[in-house]
Amino acid sequence: MYVCVCNGVTDGQIREAVQTRGCDSLRDLRRELGVGSQCAKCARHARQVLREARSAAPVTSVSPMQGEVVQYWPQIA
């Protein structure tokens, strides 16, 4: 579904930006995809999709002691 009609950005593109580009805020989405940079009517929905994507994505960390990648899955209440 289109979230930002002005720039033709879909919810799938926002989810992909969170997962692959590390977008973590509306500011990041604006920089990467242009979301909210025109009329900004999409900002509320874009934030909602961003929150959903962040809660569904694992958090990856590298252990400084052993150099191995560790994934943490966020708890959903």
For residues 77 and 55, is the Cβ–Cβ distance under 8 A? no
Place of tokens 């979301």: 35
The answer as to whether 19 is a domain residue is: yes
> How many folded domains does the chain comprise?
1
77 has a pLDDT exceeding 60: no
14 located within any domain = yes
What's the whole-model pTM score? Answer: 0.72
Q: Is residue 77 part of a domain?
A: no
Burial 19-57 (b: 16+ CB within 10 A, else e): eeeebeebebbbebbebbbeeeebbebbbebbeebbeeb
Tens of pLDDT, residues 58-69: 655 555 566 666
* Per-residue model confidence as pLDDT tens digits over 4-59: 999 999 999 999 999 999 899 999 999 999 999 999 999 999 999 999 999 886 65
Specify the CATH number for the domain of residue 48: 1.10.10.1100
Is 27 contained in some domain? yes
